[in-house]
Amino acid sequence: MSGAADRGTAETGPGGGGAAGERATRVLVVDDHPLFRMGLAMALTGEGFTVAGEAENGKQALERARRGDVDVVLLDIRMPEMDGIEVCRGLTAGGGGPAVVMLTTYEEPGVIRAARQAGAKAFLSKETAPRELARLLRAILANPSRDWMPQVALPSFTPREEQVLKLLNLGLSNKDIARRMDLSPDTVKDHLERVFHKLDVRDRLSAVKRATELGLV
């Protein structure tokens, strides 16, 4: 682990929103970019949090967070060893672990949906100002039962369109899809055009990619 793997600050202050003399909220900062990690640690310290540690990859994050002395994990998505979704899943399995907040630049609906399913408490942008980040962390920790994750609107398909999309994902041609569904090629083409429109794409490859990102296939 590079940097100050177990760097901490004074155990008093407003980290968790409490009065002076109470233990500050302990945060594990996880990101594979050293400068961003260092800057975030400094910003959190300035806002009264205790930076209990840092990690530069998913494996280190999981090992460090499991020591039991961390209240919240600020976790990047794309990292070496293990990605943030996998780490989040490992930390939330069984309950009782630290709160996991995804802090990332990747806001694709599929990623948000995967983070939600993995048990993340919230999904925040890396561009969030330090003071706003501190406010959000305190609010999230104070209201853990609230749904803090962004809402993802998914397109609605007819049963036929869903079937066409699934067969498209298998790499079947229009003719093969028509044969499999006992439809004419023109009818399959009509279904595909509606699928493309609902996914806001123009071709087959983009449709499969978009559907995968949304967790539809």
Q: Where are the domains of the chain?
A: 26-142, 159-213
Query: What is the mean predicted confidence (pLDDT) over 31-39?
Result: 94
Give SS3 for 50.
strand
| In the predicted structure, residue 18 carries a pLDDT above the cut 50 | no
Q: Which residue has the higher pLDDT, 147 or 215?
A: 147
Cβ atoms of 192 and 202 closer than 8 Å = no
Interval 70-102: pLDDT, tens: 999 999 999 988 899 999 999 998 777 899 999
What is the distance between the alpha carbons of residues 47 and 190, in angstroms, rounded to a whole number?
56
Output the pLDDT for position 177: 96
Q: Which residues contact 130 (CB under 8 A, 6 or more apart)?
A: 43, 44, 46, 47
Tell me what percent of the residues of the chain surpass a pLDDT of 70.
Answer: 90
Residue 189, H or E segment: helix 185-199
Domain 159-213 sits in CATH at: 1.10.10.10
Query: What is the mean predicted confidence (pLDDT) over 45-62?
Result: 94
- Model confidence band, residue 29 (pLDDT cutoffs 50, 70, 90): very high
| In the predicted structure, residue 138 carries a pLDDT above the cut 90 | yes
Residue of 49, 57, 55 lying closest to 26 (CA atoms): 49
What is the distance between the alpha carbons of residues 9 and 11, in angstroms, rounded to a whole number?
6
First to last CA, the chain: 37
Query: What is the mean predicted confidence (pLDDT) over 121-150?
Result: 90
- The whole model's pTM is what? 0.66
Residue of 91, 90, 116 lying closest to 215 (CA atoms): 116
Q: Is domain 26-142 annotated with CATH 3.40.50.2300?
A: yes
- Model confidence band, residue 133 (pLDDT cutoffs 50, 70, 90): very high
Interval 149-202: pLDDT, tens: 887 777 889 999 999 999 999 999 999 999 999 999 999 999 999 999 988 889
Query: What separation in angstroms does the CA of 208 have from each of 47, 135, 160, 211?
Result: 44, 39, 16, 5
- Model confidence band, residue 22 (pLDDT cutoffs 50, 70, 90): low
Phi-psi region of 68 (alpha: psi -120 to 50; beta: other; left: phi over 0): left
